[in-house]
Amino acid sequence: MKRYLIDASIEPSSAVTAALAASSISVVDSPPAGDGEGPRRERPMTLAVNAPSAEEAIETVADALRRWGDVPVEVVDEEPL
């Protein structure tokens, strides 16, 4: 099990934050919140998720954000727990 830092290109909003929290995903860094209407931002949100592999970490984030369509996500770092 490792802690993965993942960049997700999505507009931060209270609904996005709630969906992430419901999936046990932490927001590490986020651009200023907008109105939630635009799905993508130039600067991604950086998220932290514990998972056995990078693939499972990406899947967890993608599942949490599925309501907003196909959100681009990528692992940017990993740390042992």
Tokens of 36: 């939630």
Predicted confidence (pLDDT) per residue in 17-60, tens digit: 999 999 999 999 876 655 555 444 456 899 999 999 999 999 99
Please tell me the pTM assigned to this model: 0.82
Domains of the chain: 2-80 (3.30.70)
The pLDDT score that the predictor gives to residue 34 is 54
The 3-state DSSP composition of the chain as helix, strand, coil percent (nearest 5) reads 30, 30, 40
The pLDDT score that the predictor gives to residue 40 is 47
Cα-based angle 55, 21, 39 (whole degrees, multiple of 5): 75
